[in-house]
Amino acid sequence: MADSPDLGVERTLVLLKPDAVARGLAGRIITRFEDAVLKIVGVKMAQLDAEFTRKHYFDLEERLGADIYNSTAKFMQTGPVIALVLEGVDAVAKVRQIIGATYPNLAAPGTVRGDYAHQTKASSEVSGKAVMNLVHASGNSDEAKYEVGLWFGEEEQFEYETLAEKLAY
């Protein structure tokens, strides 16, 4: 499907954050992506260090301030994450729709964050802790290209066709 740009096929990065891994939600979350005809073309588990966290969140401090960056970086280094490259038609937008709003209390029921994450923005601010919202997903196509390239080499991404693709496209 990667060779079908006319369909709007793209790749995006998804991270199942330390809270998703620790709570044993990885399978349930991945199932939602696969149910939406998003194909896993790369997967790995990793423990982030300070240097890689800075590369991944390279502009977070500039956009949202040092406090947000520091709490996010600290949280992302508390345990392993599962990194996925997902491929599909309008994959970036589709993933964002599946996971829901950044703040779990604003995420609609039926989304990953709406169903499984329950922290509010206010509780995060009061506690000084990062919002535990289970999933990171690329925000746009340019971000997706940067993040996929940061996390995965070409040799770690696979080309194959799923039955769902054959039926849907």
Tokens of 5: 């740009």
- Using DSSP's 3-state secondary structure scheme, residue 122 falls into helix
Q: How far apart are CA 136 and CA 91, in angstroms?
A: 14
Q: How far apart are CA 14 and CA 131, in angstroms?
A: 16
Burial 135-145 (b: 16+ CB within 10 A, else e): bbbbeeeeebb
Q: How far apart are CA 118 and CA 97, in angstroms?
A: 18
Q: How far apart are CA 62 and CA 154, in angstroms?
A: 30
Q: Annotated catalytic, 56?
A: no
Return the closest-CA partner of residue 34 out of 167, 145, 165, 153.
Answer: 165
Residue of 136, 137, 138, 165 marked active site: 136
Residues serving a catalytic function are 136
